[in-house]
Amino acid sequence: MNEYAREAVEERTRTWLDAAYLRGVVAMRARVPIFAADGRPQRMTPYDFQELQRKLLIFRWFDRFRFGSFLDVGSGFDVVPQLVSRRYGTPAYYADLVHSMNLPYGGDALGRLDHAVTLNVARLPFADGAFDLVLASEVLEHLVRPVEAIAELLRVTRRYLVMTSLEALSPSCWRRVLSHHRVDVRIPHVERNFFVLDEFAAIFGAGFHHENLFFSPNLPASALASVAEQDAAYGRLTDPVALEDALYDAVAVRNHRPGAMGIVLVKAKPGAEVAAAEPERELARWLMGEKARLERTWARLLAEIDAGTATFAARDRPVAPDLLARLRCPDCRGPVRAGGDGVECECCAAHFPAEYGVPLLYPTRPPDEREATVEAVARLCGEDRRRRRIVGRIARRLRRNERPPGRLRRALWRFGRAAGRPPSGA
């Protein structure tokens, strides 16, 4: 198989993420909690601060929406659906390419029990408009077919789509071209997709909102500061009020001025209400409390695993009826029903296994790639011929990642390795 082909890239990514997840679980045993037992911050790091800040940006949009169901595509190690369920009282679901990340360890302690699906974002196994709100955070830059994936995400959401990416926004066309040539796409889970703002506007059309993800001058330490300087600055955030103030300041500047990094993409479909923004301080306090709660939950689960008292769902647990009703066949998009050790399509009879109540809904036959792109462009752009031309051109450009590289690109990869530059192209 061509090592640059979609299937090969996705398999490398799945294997790498699976191993990274297992390493992360092991590392948690030695990790010093960010929050003390009384909920006070005791060891803030740049990573943990930015995790809180990203959630603050995402959830302040959620606070402005009206929705009754939620899906997190590329949910990974995080528990955003559980937070959504706790804050808004709505059914919320996990979805990821990596099956181990979806399994309900600890029963319902992390919210995955009966609320998780293993899938491929290029062919989402859900009905049209199955969820009011869909999130895909830090996924866009890694996708093999991002235009087709965005069309799928918009297909399964009825009201709102929110996406974030630290790397996908380029400040100019020239920077986008340079990033494309510098990135070694053979590396698993590498940042491979870059767009300028006008391209995002063409892809998402009316109802598209955007803001930056981070504004370096307002962070506790500049993103360009040394590791020691950053660790010292974040480590001083040991007072809850000081941490809350730092988070509030970090999200104060939202446009793409110099010093801004990344992008938050929000698409509200026609008729979907977006209320006025509310102050973030209450939300920041809530997120801090939830992170402290999650740390305690993980500590308890690991202790129970070590003691042999942990609760696990039965391996042959059937797929929950509420989840089953939202599912569709990833091959033909027909309805599915419980069958055998998983689910089966009522139209094409394809069978998909399940374990611990989590269905594995990878496509079983490759789609017609040209047809999939034509369908995606039509779904995104409708009858707007100008947007169709732009989005079609973007999709074709990004297909270059799936072809063997030319001499210039290979030379840049060798130069980057010799210079010790990270492979992301950032």
The pLDDT score that the predictor gives to residue 424 is 54
The pLDDT score that the predictor gives to residue 425 is 43
Cα torsion 247, 253, 254, 260 to 10°: value is -90
Backbone dihedral region for residue 309 (phi beyond 0: left; psi -120 to 50: alpha; all else: beta): alpha
**pLDDT tens digit sequence for 35-80:** 998 989 999 999 999 999 999 999 999 999 999 999 999 999 899 9
Q: Which fold has domain 6-313+366-419?
A: Rossmann fold (3.40.50)
> What is the pLDDT of the chain when averaged over all its residues?
93
The pLDDT score that the predictor gives to residue 6 is 87
| Residue pair 156/126 in contact by the 8 Å Cβ criterion | yes
The pLDDT score that the predictor gives to residue 419 is 72
Number of C-beta neighbours around residue 165 at 10 A:
24
Could you give the C-alpha distances from 181 to 78, 100, 139, 400, 408, in angstroms and in order? Answer: 31, 33, 20, 10, 8
Helix axes 146-156, 197-204, angle to 10 degrees: 40
Which of 23, 29, 101, 87 has the alpha carbon at shortest distance from 55? 87
What are the tokens at 87?
């804050």
What contacts 150, CB < 8 A, 6 or more positions away? 140, 163, 203, 204, 376, 380
Low-confidence ranges of the chain (pLDDT < 50): 425-426
| Residue pair 283/68 in contact by the 8 Å Cβ criterion | no
**pLDDT tens digit sequence for 185-229:** 889 999 999 999 999 999 999 999 999 999 999 999 998 899 999
∠ CA 274-276-281, rounded to 5°:
120
**pLDDT tens digit sequence for 95-116:** 999 999 999 988 899 999 999 9
